[in-house]
Structure 1
């Protein structure tokens, strides 16, 4: 599959998880829409784009298992969470129960909100190594009390690459009358997702990561009974529209003036590419490579896996604990000297080397990483092993 992607062949690219990688046919579709836009901007934006957006939204909704009128496109999950944050009404002392495995931008969003509102953001500790799903659930709910009003957590952690049992947590949160907000940035196109079955109040995910869409393509799902409470992050022509559609929710959030929505419009082509290339089977093969190498890298770095090496906790990414006091220098060295693109991620006093495997990767890419780490251990003091 390497020939289908634009990635520099001189780089060992093991960082799909950060920003994804777009195949050539989808990238060409992006340019086709941009050319059509520029050839007649007025006709495209005023007449064609609403139809294209509707088609794209319908194809995405079918893919993620929800009604097409219950989601809209956003540029990224951080934008989506900011939409929710700006609309949610909490009082001083109310609590948002989260974990200490969340994405840094999300932590910052909720910290900002809490400073303004007087609410509290609780980063409940989920201890490592994980031994079972039940352990995560038990530790998470230790953070619950009478002040808890919102549950916010990632379905897959960025730094630790762990899959969290969000279905079980959402179900219990509903029993407790809590609002559920799920960050599924790494989920669509990566692990199974059916929003109707999961049943959160809010859910955001990306298309530009594991679905292979162009950069800046994500979505926010809002359960129907919550939609009237969500204000647009940017007030524009869709607010009190002169030509309202059948959905005020979509008017508020989908039409915000002049913008290039070409990345969103590629969604039908994205899904077609995944289906034509039997991506579920390719994803399964990638996971097997991830699983087969995890313990081997831990042995090299003299650390231990942070969870059982199974599909219950891992997808196409794995985070290897690495003993280093200089994560930024290690990342730069791996790229500058060894031409390996891979994140080195600090979290909660630990550091993780996270490799991602997609269909353009092979076992040889991990051999390049293994040899580089062997060399770094022998020739520098960056890794304590």
Structure 2
């Protein structure tokens, strides 16, 4: 399976690429469609951007909304999830003393986003520490709900965490936030194409995710989803042709005939829309290649690799299997110089993989996609065994062997 799929990707053959989670990778047929859209734009840019863009941009919304369990009116195409979450964070009416409740597993760029918002508004971030290892849904949810107060205005959670690759069971926390009148804002950067999403059923007020990671669309394709009742709260970061001073009440029409939520965010000056327009091709590629079966194979390979490394290090996993992202897993390793280990893995073994320290835990974060193989996992285990001296029986350390 992996050898055949590997030929369908553009990943360099001299690199063992185990870091799909950071930026994704685009299959050749999808990338070809992306280039077709770019060529069409260049052949008649006035017609493409000036006369046809509103209708052209609608088609990916329809396809993606169907895939994600919502309607085209609740979703808008953007360049990345960080942008989507910034739009939300900087739109909400926060005041001094208001609290944003979040966890100690969040993506650093969004930690900075909320710090910026707090500096501007006088609100404050409250960070709850998720009990580790994460073994039960109640363990997570009870911790989140216990952190809610009458000052909590925003609940900000990752669906799949970036540093720890955990699949947070966020459903009950979102429902409790709704009952208390707390806005729920979900960072779904790693989620679309990784797990099955039913956005309307999930019920988050705001949800932003990337299509360029596990959905395998080109870089620069993402979305923001908002419930109809809260779309009127959103303001664009850039005021351009899509902006209107008309009412933002549900049912209102924007400058180009969609809702203001869509038109104000979609039409923000000249940009290359080709990545977003290629999302339907990425969805077709997944269907044509039975991607559910591919994902099941990748999930098994990821769990097996983590178990094998755990047997060599003697370190426990960060969570029960059901709370680990299916194709991405954070594997604890002994205390070491993580920067040196990352460099040595690449320089000596050509393995591209994130290695870092999260809180007090050194981590190797493994991503397994359809182009990866069991021999690559074997190489990773052997490389870590060598570089960390896991066979020596003494305290593990970075090997000095050259």
**Alignment TM class, shorter chain as reference:** over 0.9
User: What's the TM-score once normalised by structure 2's chain length?
Assistant: 0.92
Q: Give yes or no for the alignment of 1:333 onto 2:349.
A: no
Question: How many angstroms apart in 1 are the aligned matches of 2:274 and 2:377?
Answer: 34
- Structure 1 residues 243 and 130, CA, compared in 2 at 3 Å: closer, same or farther? closer
Q: Name the structure 2 match of 1:353.
A: 364
Q: Name the structure 2 match of 1:260.
A: 272
Q: Name the structure 1 match of 2:158.
A: 154
Query: By how many angstroms is 1:131 displaced?
Result: 1.9
Question: How many angstroms apart in 2 are the aligned matches of 1:246 and 1:31?
Answer: 27
Unaligned runs of 5+ in 1: none
User: What's the TM-score once normalised by structure 1's chain length?
Assistant: 0.96
Q: Name the structure 2 match of 1:53.
A: 57
- Structure 1 residues 243 and 191, CA, compared in 2 at 3 Å: closer, same or farther? closer
Matches within 5 A, 1:26-175: 26-175=30-179
- Secondary structure at the aligned position of 1:284 is classed as helix
Query: By how many angstroms is 1:309 displaced?
Result: 2.2
**1:41-84 deviations in Å (ceiling 9; x for gaps):** 11111123222210011111111111101111111111111101
8 Å CA contact 1:95, 1:122 repeated in 2: yes
- Secondary structure at the aligned position of 2:302 is classed as helix
Q: Give yes or no for the alignment of 1:177 onto 2:185.
A: no
Query: By how many angstroms is 1:255 displaced?
Result: 0.6
Q: Name the structure 2 match of 1:293.
A: 305
Query: By how many angstroms is 1:301 displaced?
Result: 2.4
- Secondary structure at the aligned position of 2:383 is classed as helix
Query: By how many angstroms is 1:325 displaced?
Result: 4.1
8 Å CA contact 1:182, 1:203 repeated in 2: yes
Q: Name the structure 2 match of 1:203.
A: 207
Q: Give yes or no for the alignment of 1:233 onto 2:245.
A: no
**1:327-367 deviations in Å (ceiling 9; x for gaps):** 22211111122100100132223221011111111111110
Q: Name the structure 2 match of 1:315.
A: 326
Moved more, 287-296 or 227-236: 287-296
8 Å CA contact 2:328, 2:365 repeated in 1: yes
Q: Give yes or no for the alignment of 1:368 onto 2:384.
A: no
Select which of 315, 330, 346 maps to 1:303. 315
Q: Name the structure 2 match of 1:382.
A: 398
- Secondary structure at the aligned position of 1:170 is classed as helix
**1:160-213 deviations in Å (ceiling 9; x for gaps):** 111001111111111111110011111111111000110110001110000000
